[in-house]
């Protein structure tokens, strides 16, 4: 399986913050601490919905733009996130 997917799924299940380097659409790399909420596969690629601590809001991250990823030992509070509700809002 994909090591990124394994790490993200483990972090989602255990409510662990992820530290990542993300390649923005303009090629600039930004470092983020995120609280991963859900993964889904659409149009041939994996998507990660997470609360971005830098932007203080839920954001969508494409796995193929994650340059590096590390699960931390920092926990975040479980929440009532619903993928169905998220899609309804979009």
**pLDDT at residue 55, rounded to an integer:** 93
Do 40 and 83 contact (CB within 8 A), yes or no?
Answer: yes
88 against 48, higher pLDDT? 48
pTM metric for this prediction: 0.90
**pLDDT at residue 90, rounded to an integer:** 75
As given in the structure block, the two tokens for residue 10 are 């483990």
What backbone torsions phi and psi does residue 61 show, to the nearest 5 degrees? -120, 135
Please, which pLDDT band fits residue 81 given cuts at 50, 70 and 90?
confident
C-alpha distances (whole Å) from 80 to each of 5, 19, 60 are 22, 22, 17
**pLDDT at residue 84, rounded to an integer:** 84
Query: What is the arithmetic mean of pLDDT over 28-53?
Result: 95
Please, which pLDDT band fits residue 1 given cuts at 50, 70 and 90?
low
């Amino acid at each position: 399986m994909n090591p990124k997917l394994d790490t993200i799924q483990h972090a989602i299940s255990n409510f662990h913050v992820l530290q990542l380097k993300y390649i923005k659409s303009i090629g600039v790399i930004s470092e983020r601490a995120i609280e991963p909420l859900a993964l889904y596969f659409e149009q041939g690629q994996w998507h990660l919905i997470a609360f971005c601590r830098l932007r203080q809001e839920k954001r969508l991250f494409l796995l193929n733009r994650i340059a590096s990823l590390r699960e931390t030992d920092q926990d975040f509070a479980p929440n009532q996130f619903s993928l169905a509700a998220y899609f309804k809002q979009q």
